Amino acid sequence: MAGIVAWMALWWISEAVPLAVTSLLPLVLFPLLGIDSVGGTAVNYGKEIIFLFLGGFLLALAMERSGLHRRIALRIVDRIGGTGPRLIAGIMVATALLSMWMNSTSCVMVMLPIALSLLDGDGDPELRRKLTVPLLLAVTYSATIAGMSTPVGTPPNLVFLELWRDRYPTQPAIGFGQWMAFGVPLMLVYLAIVWWLLTKVLFRIPQQHLSSPKEVRERLMALGPVAPAERLAGIVFATTALLWITGDDIAFSEHFTLHGWRSLTDFKAFTDGAVALLGALLLFVIPIGKPVNAAESKPPFALLDWKYAEANVPWGILLLFGGGFALAHGIDKSGLSLQLVAAMQGLKDLPHPVLIGTVSAIVCLLSELGSNTAVASLTLPLLAQSAEAWGADPQAILIPATLAATLGFALPVASPMQAIVFGSGRIPVREMVRAGIWLDLIGIGLFTILFGCFSVI
């Protein structure tokens, strides 16, 4: 299994073969090497979150096809200014504010079409080219980092809270206030460093305007009134995003919980993936007055048709993410995860800051190779046992490990957020790896400082 991990990582990073082709290797290698059956491996390519991606891709296509994304982008440029650094800062702030309170994956699906529309305007082509990679990376990075700041921001946080309740029932519950006391300062420092890296170090972003303020206002006026297709795309997209945001409970403290619609209704099984597909399916069936594409000759006209979706959905990315799930499954099934965590038993004699940094680095490395939720589910119970054996405070080990599971900025398969942004087809793998390694190292350093050198819990 370790050999397969190294093989797939090498092919993904080098792009020696298409990424989707590399993602199919587990279906051949797992049964060949006795790790799992074809059936047991194949289920990883049909997980619910993959259909969440599919629904999100279709919703984004509808915004693009209707032209609504262009209108939103011009409004953003008009409000926050059109220089590269200001656009990146604006996108990061908007994404972070959303990601604090909703699933980071859903947040990226909301923000990516807006970011793409900023890049597809009529501004300086050279500036737009230089801005493409850092702006899109800003979306996934800010969503991931902001997800660390609240208990509901990212799935590993919820895995930890569930483990804490089950394993330590006599310990005080960890509420929103206690988590945000360290999560929000961490987010603010991390985002500031990332903005500086993206605009000043890793990428040289010019200071000139993408478009002059006068040109932006002229283009807004030239768009005219909102068309029916734009209105439909906006209503469906906004309704879907609202359902994503309000679906789950938010526990602000032990005594106050803001209940989501799932706990208030009988639709508990109607998950975010089903919400995304419902919104996407509506775009194929709700009639609009006139065709968006002149090639559509027979009414009723809909905003999306299958021919357009088939040609524009990045199907390879869905396979890529399935390959990541299969890899995480194989690491667990083969026992490699137990071997890796067992190897950490020798760390108990290390100084506390070094211990925190080492644990964070190991969990971060695992998160690069598979789902961050799967990594948290695999490692946190084992680390809880290790912390007790080491005689360490469980929170001091488990919380930085939870945050480290959310790291993994270097590979498209490291998290849903990375996969979605990579699915735009605008970011070369080498650029993602080059920037992501820096962010992983910075995250490990911040966790070491906060949880190893200072008592912030």
Last residue of a domain, one of 282, 312, 342: 312
pLDDT band at 75, cuts 50/70/90?
confident
Q: What 3-state class would DSSP assign to 120?
A: coil
How far apart are the C-alpha atoms of 154 and 166, rounded to whole Å?
19
Distances (CA, A) of 101 to 150, 180, 246, 251: 7, 12, 9, 11
Four-CA torsion 175, 189, 89, 318, nearest 10 degrees: -60
User: Within a domain: residue 395?
Assistant: yes
Do 97 and 182 sit in the same domain of this protein?
yes
| For residues 311-316, average pLDDT | 81
Look at residue 186 in the predicted model and tell me its pLDDT: 92
Do 239 and 380 sit in the same domain of this protein?
no
Do 355 and 339 sit in the same domain of this protein?
yes
Do 99 and 230 sit in the same domain of this protein?
yes
Length of the chain: 457
Structure tokens at 194: 């990332």
DSSP classification of residue 46:
G
Q: How far is CA 56 from the centre of its chain?
A: 12
Do 9 and 35 sit in the same domain of this protein?
yes
Do 174 and 221 sit in the same domain of this protein?
yes
Q: How far is CA 131 from the centre of its chain?
A: 20
User: Within a domain: residue 387?
Assistant: yes
Do 33 and 65 sit in the same domain of this protein?
no
Total number of domains in the chain: 2
User: Within a domain: residue 136?
Assistant: yes
Look at residue 384 in the predicted model and tell me its pLDDT: 79
Q: What is the mean pLDDT of the chain?
A: 81
| For residues 96-104, average pLDDT | 74
Last residue of a domain, one of 312, 346, 377: 312
- pLDDT for 93 beyond 80: yes
Do 185 and 302 sit in the same domain of this protein?
yes
pLDDT band at 180, cuts 50/70/90?
confident
341-389: per-residue pLDDT in tens?
667 667 767 888 888 898 899 889 888 876 677 677 667 777 877 777 6
Do 281 and 338 sit in the same domain of this protein?
no
Domain extent, residue 35, equals 2-40+316-453
Amino acid at 253: S
User: Within a domain: residue 163?
Assistant: no
How far apart are the C-alpha atoms of 151 and 101, rounded to whole Å?
9
User: Within a domain: residue 431?
Assistant: yes
Last residue of a domain, one of 280, 312, 344: 312
Do 339 and 274 sit in the same domain of this protein?
no
Do 400 and 285 sit in the same domain of this protein?
no
| For residues 172-197, average pLDDT | 85
User: Within a domain: residue 326?
Assistant: yes
User: Within a domain: residue 164?
Assistant: no
pLDDT band at 121, cuts 50/70/90?
low
Q: Name the nearest CA neighbour of 367 among 331, 406, 335, 330.
A: 406
- pLDDT for 297 beyond 60: no
Structure tokens at 29: 């290698």
Q: How far is CA 283 from the centre of its chain?
A: 24
Do 117 and 255 sit in the same domain of this protein?
yes
How open is the CA angle 140-78-96, to the nearest 5 degrees?
25
Look at residue 250 in the predicted model and tell me its pLDDT: 66
pLDDT band at 215, cuts 50/70/90?
low
Look at residue 273 in the predicted model and tell me its pLDDT: 81
28-59: per-residue pLDDT in tens?
999 999 999 999 999 988 887 778 778 877 88
